[in-house]
A and B are shown apart, each in its own frame.
Chain A
Amino acid sequence: MDILRFITAGSVDDGKSTLIGRLLFDSKSILIDQLAAIEKQSKNKSNGEIDLALLTDGLRAEREQGITIDVAYKYFSTPKRKFIIADAPGHIQYTRNMVTGASNSELAIILVDARNGVVEQTRRHYVIASLLNIPHIVVAINKMDLVGNSQDVYNNIVIDYQEVAKSLGLKDVKYIPISALNGDNIVEKSKHFPWYDGESLLHHLENVQLDSDVNLTDARFSVQYVIRPQSEDLHDYRGYAGKVISGIYKKGDKVVVLPSGIESSVKAIEIGGNEIEEAYALQSVVLHLEDDVDVSRGDMIVQQNNQPKIAQEFEAMLCWMDNKPLKPGNKYFLQINSRLVRCVVKELEYKLDVNTLQKNESPEKAVLNDIIKVTIKTASPVAFDPYKKLRQNGGAILIDETSCVTVGACMIQ
């Protein structure tokens, strides 16, 4: 069994909450008391039917206004997989939420209303999925029942989307006709689409190949914390605690500490005080080096023959997430994995119109939800990989020095 983290993008009008409710309901992840609670609330509303959307609206303001404010996380599992859903609202003012949800997702379900075809919003979701480099995309063409389950309507939408997907370089895109309201093609294949020879949505979610998404080639280890018991029996113990972001580490590997460039080799690898022979991607371990060198939090330990870039100035695509605008020359903290450095956003190269893909050159500022290309200069060198190559070591956040808030998401180029 493994884990699939996915994001659902679309607005309430596309039936997104209904789709999530349906996945939870049909996979038997909704329990009696939760159902009773939404039944009670549904009765307070006019139409009387059980509103599966109520399952995902967690906060009082959301229930009162019938909107989704923020990313909510939902969980369900089947015998094959555990699923973590990041449920993000779809409207343009929530681009930042979709970016947040997308950052940890290996798959995106983009929901389309079959009656409307390709609309601005869906194009935007495509663009964000491409920017955040989500490996797998599912375009779920919903409300098929409202277009008479027509194969022509479905085909036309698919053709339109294939064109957009091609222009953005999206590779693994699946198209599935569904009706979330009726449960068609959600868990079981529906009889209503005899012309569709693909799989149901859940079947696809259960079987999409995830192993290839884990990078076992480029070994990256970010030091979070130095373990130094300083007790009598462990007087000289010095272990570097962190997570293997990608790749594999073995005893004896020739490594280099970045950004200092000091070379050493792996003396031992431990988990919870027990020695292991090798460590691989996603494991949290403790590394020991042969030499007594200076290593501290925020440093990166990598193989000598496979090193990331090291720079103090780089370009990045940036999603701006704060109400205070970004202007050239503004200073922030930049955090990448466990490394925190001061930085300045030197230049705003262009602003990307997420609806038309048009580039507006040299904007004076960026405001909430803008996607901009910027040049960033840091106070000390940063080790990174291009986001498109290794997103675990190419994503960084900007933190406002005075408000302490996370204000931007950088995809380093």
Chain B
Amino acid sequence: MSKYHLDYLGQLESEAIHIMREVAGQFERPALLFSGGKDSITLVHLALKAFRPGKFPFPLVHIDTGHNFPEALHFRDELVNTIGEKLIVRKVADTIKEKNLTEQKGKFASRNSLQTYTLLDIIEEFKFDALIGGARRDEEKARAKERIFSVRDEFGQWDPKLQRPELWNIYNGKIHKGENVRAFPISNWTELDIWNYIKRENIELPSIYFAHEREVIEYEGQLVSVSEFIIPDESDVVSTKKVRYRTVGDMTCTAAVESNASNIDDIIREIIATKTSERGETRIDDKVSEAAMEDRKKTGYF
């Protein structure tokens, strides 16, 4: 093989950097949506490669549901501090109060659908015209059909049947006033690609991605952490298990997996051997219906 051969992680990295620079080159007011999970941490790493020694041409934006893992919040603040970039935080709780929104009831009540309101508000407040997100096409069937530059109307809505053709590596970012583009630089990465890249680049992650002991209850076969948001009732059996998180979302709707993986190599081995998909194993909110993600996206969700 020639010495001028870019291996597969190098190709994925270069594609992602190219997409981020297209966003920077085409839009007036972009932002990067940062959740504190491994995918958005990878995005930040890619942005460093794309724009250093310059500053990021966009702020990081965190939609804070108030149901975060404390480890993820702590990590977020440290990371922002280290890289010296701007972080904007808006709280779903404030939106709920301002707009008199009705919260889901029950033990696993999720603010997942309510965060769309906060997202649309922050887009309006800062007049963002492009939002970079860490969604991947392997996550879910509806995402498998979404463009890398995905145009949303004034209400943030995605219309899967009216998507622009996307050819070669040319990204059409032309939009009307009020519309915005969601840009997905790691569309073509799989969960395993992310982990292999994190290993290669030595990217730091919040501790909850690695095996640790935690008090959990079992809900429909999934392990949910006991916390201030999930308070066990009499029917629950609380047990202490060695777990890690495959995804980091809200404490109310993200499940842990039993694991002994204390380092990245162990995690990669477990992922190769796993028989359940990332969202299937760890997201309680996708199980509502077959088209749960498609429906959320159509109404403005990422």
Residues of A within 8 A of B (CB): 1-3, 31-34, 37, 41, 56-61, 63, 69-75, 77, 81-82, 84, 96-97, 99-100, 103-104, 211, 214, 216, 224-225, 227-229, 234, 237, 239, 241-243, 248, 271-273, 280-284, 297, 321, 333, 335-338, 391-392, 395-397, 399, 404-406, 409
For A211, the chain B residues whose CB sits under 8 A away are: 1-2, 5
* A99 touches which of B164, B167, B193 (Cβ 8 Å): B167
Q: Is B168 an interface residue (CB 8 A)?
A: yes
Contacts beyond the supplied A99-B167, A103-B168: 18 A-B pairs with Cβ under 8 Å: A2-B5, A33-B281, A58-B144, A59-B145, A60-B291, A72-B144, A75-B137, A100-B167, A214-B5, A216-B2, A227-B51, A229-B54, A237-B54, A241-B21, A271-B49, A282-B10, A284-B13, A399-B174
Q: How far is the CA of A271 from the CA of B53 in the complex (A)?
A: 10
Q: Is B178 an interface residue (CB 8 A)?
A: no
The chain A residue with its CB closest to the CB of B172 is A406
Q: Is B81 an interface residue (CB 8 A)?
A: no
B48 near A272 with CB under 8 A, answer yes
B174 near A41 with CB under 8 A, answer no
A82 near B294 with CB under 8 A, answer no
The chain A residue with its CB closest to the CB of B189 is A75
Q: Return the CB mask of B1-35 against A: 1 if under 8 Å, else 0.
A: 11011111011111001100110110000000000
A75 near B190 with CB under 8 A, answer yes
Q: How far is the CA of A242 from the CA of B294 in the complex (A)?
A: 34
Q: How far is the CA of A346 from the CA of B159 in the complex (A)?
A: 33
A404 near B167 with CB under 8 A, answer no
Size bin of chain B's contact surface: 35 or more
The chain A residue with its CB closest to the CB of B167 is A103
B167 near A229 with CB under 8 A, answer no
Known: A271-B49, A280-B4. A227 touches B174 (CB 8 A): no
B25 near A338 with CB under 8 A, answer yes
For B164, the chain A residues whose CB sits under 8 A away are: 405-406
Q: Which of B96-104, B233-241, B261-269, B271-279 contacts A (4 or more CB under 8 A)?
A: B271-279
Known: A72-B145, A272-B48. A284 touches B18 (CB 8 A): yes
For B215, the chain A residues whose CB sits under 8 A away are: none
User: Of residues 129 to 187 in B, which have CB atoms within 8 Å of A's CB atoms?
Assistant: 137-138, 141-142, 144-145, 151, 160-161, 163-170, 172, 174-176, 187
The chain B residue with its CB closest to the CB of A30 is B277
Q: Is B55 an interface residue (CB 8 A)?
A: yes
